[in-house]
Structure 1
Amino acid sequence: MNKYSDTTKQFLLATKRSEIEALHQLASNCQVITFVCELIHQLQRERGISNIFLISKSTRFCEHRRKQIEASINTEEMLRSQLKAKYLQTSDSASNMRLFNLIALALQDIDHVPSLRRKIENQRLTAAQSTRAYCRVISALLAVVFEASDVASDPKITQQLVALFNFIQGKEFAGQERAWGVVGFSQSTFDKRLCERIKQLEISQQNSFKTFFEFALESDSQQWQSLESADSVEPLSQMRTMIQQLANGSPIAAEISEVWYELTTARIDKMHTVEEQLSEGLLNQTKSRVAKVEDDLLNHRKRVNTAANKLSDMDYWLSTQVTPNEDAKNTLQQSYIKTNNQTDQLTGNRAFYDLIKEQSDHIKRMELELDTAKQAFVDHKKIDRAKLLIMQEMNFDEAEAHRVIQRRAMDEQTSLMAISETIIKTAAALHKSLKSLES
């Protein structure tokens, strides 16, 4: 009787251990994501409160702002603690190169938030300038969430990450809509450009929530649909319509800014309850998957030991050439009609082969499901690439570049993805032409 080497068995089990390690890393990422999402929420609140504080010349929301800054700082400290514990106190950093760089960029922006707060305190910024500054910090944090989600290796968890990312992206668009609406009301006038910005933010929310519904669990979708009821949305819809009617520059009372703020804040607070549910569900899913795969590893060990004790080198080539179809199964069953000892030996070879085949099939299924789930991330990267090209070419900020893509998509009645691909291909063709001219 021949036995498989320890190295053979170790590599068979190493496949499952590798999956466990990837899930542990993913679980760490998911925990960090929940803290990043919470800081984003606190900064979104701080951004809205700061706008009211600025446009009222420090007469409104003073105490409200002080408490909110305190909440933001506490959340920031918890995030920094999590980042250190999850990433700086471990030796495995090779696979996190891009993520670490984005964390560094985000922390760099956060390091400058205290100076932003001092300028707001001293009324040295306009509400529009303050909004842009907070949007920049939040955008950097969203990039961290995106990268931490994009490295996910489990299909089911990836789907939940896609849902969460698109929901918080939609929530950020809602926060920007709130902020720019306050800016317009505080000026007692809306120009065409500001109205267009607010309209595009509304469309961006719809697109983000559409992707959210595509990947979210049914319970999460129902939770958001129940909160986003017609009765709660109608007053906001009326104010959105009013803003678009003010595109000609007609004056409006600045006091309405607080009505707008209250309506949009109530909606964003509802979003936060869904966001918390999504985060909790994500953490529960990662824990469940880790426990399941660890149980699978124990089962694999038992099956390997059982199969390895019933091997026959003489029968190996016959048993391992059997393919998983009905005819082959029948052939294998016929070959079992031997002595008990021969049957045990053949069964051992088959069991070992089946274990490897099961793992191969499992990996293939995961890769296929993962490719489908990650397509949303691929699309997002292409849109970001197209925005960057526009920003470089036209000296626009990110919001302006995004509006360019949205306008073209609306004019051509196509998707943001299609427009982004056209922009990238055009830029690549131009770059190639310039290179040929240089040579």
Structure 2
Amino acid sequence: MIHQLQKERGTTNVYLGSKGVAYKTNLPVQFKHTSEAEEQLRALLKSKFLNNDAIHTQARLLTSITLASQGLEQLPKLRKQIQKLQITPLKSTDAYCRLISKIINLIFEAADVSSDASITKMLVALFNFIQGKELAGQERALGAIGFSQQKHEPKILSKMHELESAQHDVFERFLEFSVSQEQTAWQAIQLSELTKDINKLRAMFNALSASNSYTPELGEVWYEVATKRIDALQNIETMLTTRLMEQVQVRIKEADAEISNHSLLMEKISDDNATDPGFNMLFDRRFSGLHSEEGSAAEQHHDVQSGHKSFYDLICEQANHINQMSAELENVKRALHEQKVIGRAKILLMQSSNVGEHQAHQLLQKAAMSQNQSLIDVANSIVAKVSKA
């Protein structure tokens, strides 16, 4: 759905920028593709989250689904304005960006809901990659406007520079949580002719902005090249989602196997007529007791009543497994939380200092360096000050 909306945004920009001359036949075709994707998305959201079996789903995720659905309901009105040339390219782009951000946010909230460290890590990688791809899509959209309108637009040029820089930051976070196969595919794109062509067109856009000489044809060339690059990024996105779904299936099988094994063991223990296995906990030195009291492994083994060892080991094994998973999940969730706080701090700086996202990020970095603090510490301070105010 995100991919089709990004294509629709770019197509409409070429159409609007050329005053309805270019991509006149492409527009209804793209509307159709996006509508088909929307039907699939709505059906999946309804079956997975909007039914009686999904009452355990966190409220924030349900709120995000509601906001995305409400945004999608406004698409027909936006399309009518576009077809009648009743909206400017920049306003149209802004509307699509807001809608796409609502859908991307579903991935972020899904990562926050996840209680499995490996799944959360993949969701964080996927969220950052799709966010980077969206920034590339926004650059494509603005470039299409800039080339097609045949006039100098300083605001567009400045925003394109910001988007180019922001892509680098977001894709770096994706690389942090991805695996070698995805990293190799990313490096291949970076070294490809597509990236070289994009960089050439970026330089050309800068030169044409200085001379104020554009042609509508360049808007179409830019859009086609940028689209090929985004399609290449879509291949990596597919790799990420495929690996995610495969891992989900693995974890489901592992959980089923654990349940089955524990059920068999419980039946065996029940047949052995164990009397009070919980009594062992009071003598196990692996649990906290008298301050600074330590014991050898032999003493620990001696303290645990051998008649109930199988059941007791099951409890300890499960406790250790939960602790290990909790530690792994905590590390990933910490990174996810930091990303939220830094994003919140950037928004506050953008509002208070009237700057763009890239400049806000630079302000955070400068503050961190001057105060000899980490980026997250500075972001926490900014958010805390605003909350108190």
TM-score per shorter chain, which class?
0.7 to 0.9
Relative to structure 1, the CA distance from residue 137 to residue 420 in structure 2 (aligned partners, 3 Å threshold; closer, same or farther) is farther
Structure 1 unaligned residues grouped into runs of 5+ = 1-38, 337-345, 435-439
Please tell me whether residue 214 in structure 1 is matched to residue 173 in structure 2.
no
Asked if residue 352 in structure 1 is aligned to residue 311 in structure 2, the reply is: yes
Written as runs of structure 1 = structure 2, the 5 A alignment for 1:321-336 is 321-323=283-285, 328-331=296-299
Q: 1:94-116 deviations in whole A, cap 9, x for unaligned?
A: 54211111111111111111010
Other structure's SS at 1:251 match: coil
Q: In the TM superposition, what is the alpha-carbon distance from 1:311 to its structure 2 partner?
A: 5.5
The C-alpha deviation readout for 1:280-302, integer Å capped at 9, x for no partner, is: 11111101101111100111112
Question: What secondary structure sits across from 1:71 in the alignment?
Answer: helix
2:188 is aligned, of 221, 226, 235, to: 226
- CA–CA separation in structure 1 for the residues paired with 2:188 and 2:50: 41
Match of 1:273 in 2: 235
1: CA distance, partners of 2:49 / 2:167: 32
Post-superposition CA distance 1:304-329 (Å, at most 9, x none): 22234446658974686234599654
Equivalent residues in 2 for 1:31-46, closer than 5 Å: 39-46=1-8
Q: Deviations over 1:136-183 (max 9, x none)?
A: 110111112211121111111111111111110000000001011111
Q: Counterpart in 2 of 1:363?
A: 322
* 1:262 maps to 2:224: yes
Contact 1:146 1:165 in 2 (8 A): yes
> Relative to structure 1, is the Cα distance of residues 315 and 256 closer, same or farther in structure 2, using a 3 angstrom cutoff?
closer
Structure 2 residue aligned with 1:106? 68
Q: What is the rounded CA distance, in whole Å, between the counterparts of 1:172 and 1:380 in structure 2?
A: 17
2:290 maps to what in 1?
none
**What is aligned with 1:49?**
11
Q: Report the secondary structure of 2:86's partner residue.
A: coil
2:369 aligned with 1:429: no
**Residue 311 of structure 1 contacts residue 349 of structure 1 at CA under 8 Å; is this kept in 2?**
no
Q: 1:152 aligns with which of 108, 114, 119?
A: 114
- C-alpha spacing 1:170/1:322, structure 2 compared with 1 (3 Å): same
- For 1:383, the equivalent position in structure 2 comes to 342
Cα distance, 1:271–1:319 mapped onto 2, change above 3 Å: closer
Q: Which amino acid aligns with 1:367?
A: S
Question: How many angstroms apart in 2 are the aligned matches of 1:365 and 1:420?
Answer: 25
CA drift of 1:410 comes to: 6.1
Change (3 A) 1:309 1:189: same
| TM superposition score normalised by structure 2 | 0.88
Using a 3 Å threshold, how does the CA distance of structure 1 residues 300 and 195 change in structure 2: closer, same or farther? same
Task: Kindly indicate whether residue 138 of structure 2 is the aligned counterpart of residue 183 of structure 1.
Answer: no
> Which of 189, 194, 200 is the equivalent residue of 2:162?
200
Deviations, residues 327-385 of structure 1 (Å, cap 9, x unaligned): 6543466689xxxxxxxxx4441111111111111111111111211233212211332
Deviation at 1:187, TM superposition (A): 2.8
Q: Deviations over 1:209-265 (max 9, x none)?
A: 111111112222222222332433112112223334456564333421122111111
From 58, 83, 91, give the equivalent of 1:121. 83
Q: CA 1:375 to 1:233, structure 2 compared with 1: closer, same or farther past 3 Å?
A: same
Task: Tell me: CA distance 1:52–1:300, structure 2 relative to 1, closer, same or farther (3 Å).
Answer: same
SS, match of residue 215 in structure 2: coil
Q: TM-score, normalised by structure 1?
A: 0.78
Structure 1 vs Structure 2 CA RMSD: 2.9
Measured in 2, the distance between the counterparts of 1:169 and 1:98 equals 19
Paired letter, 1:73: S
Match of 2:357 in 1: 402
Amino acid at match of 2:173: T
Aligned to 1:96: 58
Cα distance in 2, alignment partners of residues 303 and 122 from structure 1: 70
- Asked whether the 8 Å contact 1:322–1:328 carries over to 2, the reply is no
Matched residue of 2:52: which SS? coil
Distance 1:294 1:139 in 2: 36
Partner of 1:384, secondary structure, is helix
> Which blocks of at least 5 consecutive residues in structure 2 are unaligned?
288-293
Distance 1:164 1:113, change over 3 A: same
1:190/1:243 contact within 8 Å kept: no
Any idea what SS the aligned residue of 1:88 has? coil
Count of residue pairs brought into register by the alignment: 381
